[in-house]
Amino acid sequence: MKAKWLLLIIICLMTVGCGSEKTTIMEYYYSQLDNIRETKYSELTSYLDNVRSNAKAVENDESMKTYFTDKYALYAEHKKTGYEEEDYEKLFSLRNSIENRYIEKYLIFHDVLFIHSEGDIFYTVKRDDDYHKNIFEGELANTRLSEVLKGEKPEAFVDYDYYFVNGDVFAFFVEPVIINGKQAGWFVFQFGINKINSIFSKDDVLGKTGEVFLVNKDAVMLTDSKFVANSTILNKHLSQENISQKFEEVQGHKVVIDYRGREAVTSFKVVTVMGNDWLLIAKIDRDEILTEDYRKQEKNIWKDFLMQVEKTKMEYPSEEYDFAQNISVDIDEFKRASDGEILYTHGVSYCTVVIISLKGEFAYMGHISAYDKMYGGIQTDILTRVLDRIDNFDLLDYKKRDVEVRVVSPRIMFSENVVNTLLDWGVLLPQIKIATNEDARYVSLYHDYENGKTFTEWHYNSRVNNLRTNLTKVENLLEIYEQHYSRM
């Protein structure tokens, strides 16, 4: 009886262990994302609290209040009668004093606007196109700043928006000017987004595909993407449904299709910054999580994993194709196509072909023999040479996520180092396809990088049985891994 109870306990413990292992992977990454999210939140709030304190300090800055009064008096006189000769000396001296004060205490801001209660912008440090205009008139009347100043709040934070005057994105800290108990107007501190953007662009986030960014309620990014060359600040619109749902839930975790069309694991939190709600999102591609899971198991599963790859060999769809060969690749060499050419190689038997391609831009094809490092040889190291050339001449790091890799050989005789080398370089499992067919005598390959298609012709002992296939439809390594080994 005791033996039966002991066996039952062991079975239960094993079951719990397996179940917890499945959840541990996601829990681990959610924990990491949460930590990164909270770190960025802390950095953001600490910095903005400091900026706000800097703006609020003007409340007790008697020098600035005096400059406000004196400068408006000169401005009002100029509107009536124009400047007298002696006024220019006063104006020049006053400008110097204001600019010195700005440099001394308020240089964190892009500009400081002196705005009268009736709307006249009678002074700005930078003297941009809003200088000597009225905030309540013309095109300026349509700005968020104008809308806030028309309201009843004497002190406010105007959220980031495109400010046409400077042709850039700015927020504004509005501080009332109180003189003799009455509001004479406002000091408006114009604040850029560059420092906030730099907080979120620090490359200290999780993995190759991890990033943290801010989004406003209009589902528009407030910071730059790590994966887009041009600025995404107020330019990148995300899924309104996805973002609205996150604002409603306030805080949590979700697996979503992100703005790049990738399945992403996200940790999110609504943060209130001076009366404005922003959404702070930390995320990483699900593909990268699964790839890292594979790497932890790789030594234990490699041989069986290749067996699963080999099982798909006869499931390749047959397809007719017809195009001329443009660039022929011989054994122990690689070549590049980028001007519309087709890459071709013939007679792959105990060798391996590796194709690395960025659709529409370029491709490399290497025909690798048993004397290569891939097989444990020392005469050549074609894969490393190709990857180095791509790094040096073809590709920025963030574009590696778009590369496709094909590894083709009738017989898999290379080691797991091939896959590991590719993963170390920066691609993930779903970007790699391995095609094999031990029944074939040899294989010939064509690759058209413009449409991303690889065509193979498997040659058998009988000519009539040659099989033409399009590798585009072959399962990638992540699909095979998920079917048999994934712990998620």
Q: Where are the alpha helices (DSSP H) in 320-395?
A: 382-389
Looking at residue 151, what DSSP letter applies? S
Q: Which residues contact 348 (CB under 8 A, 6 or more apart)?
A: 367, 408, 409, 410, 442, 443, 444, 445
Q: What is the pLDDT of residue 333?
A: 96
277 phi/psi in degrees, rounded to 5: -90, 125
56 phi/psi in degrees, rounded to 5: -70, -20
Q: What is the pLDDT of residue 417?
A: 79
Contact 172, 179 (CB under 8 A): no
Contact 299, 74 (CB under 8 A): no
Euclidean distance between CA atoms 343 and 259, whole angstroms: 33
Query: What global pTM score does this model have?
Result: 0.87
Euclidean distance between CA atoms 214 and 227, whole angstroms: 15
Tens of each residue's pLDDT in the chain, 488 residues: 444 444 333 334 333 334 445 458 899 999 999 999 999 999 999 999 999 999 999 999 999 999 999 999 999 988 877 767 777 888 899 999 999 999 999 999 999 999 999 999 999 999 999 999 999 999 999 999 999 999 878 789 999 999 999 999 999 999 999 999 999 999 999 999 999 999 998 766 778 999 999 999 999 999 999 999 899 999 999 999 999 999 999 999 999 999 999 999 999 999 998 889 999 999 999 999 999 999 999 989 988 998 888 887 555 666 666 677 689 999 999 999 999 999 999 999 999 999 999 999 999 999 999 899 888 888 999 999 999 999 999 999 989 999 999 999 998 877 667 899 999 999 999 999 999 988 889 999 999 999 999 999 889 887 656 778 888 888 999 999 999 887 77
Contact 139, 151 (CB under 8 A): no
Domains, the chain, in order of start with CATH, read 26-42+195-286 (3.30.450.20), 61-191 (3.30.450.20), 311-484 (3.30.1330.200)
Q: How many CB atoms lie under 10 A from the CB of residue 261? A: 7
Q: Tens of pLDDT along 397-442?
A: 989 999 999 999 998 877 667 899 999 999 999 999 999 988 889 9
Place of tokens 């574009």: 399
Q: Which residues contact 144 (CB under 8 A, 6 or more apart)?
A: 158, 159, 161, 172
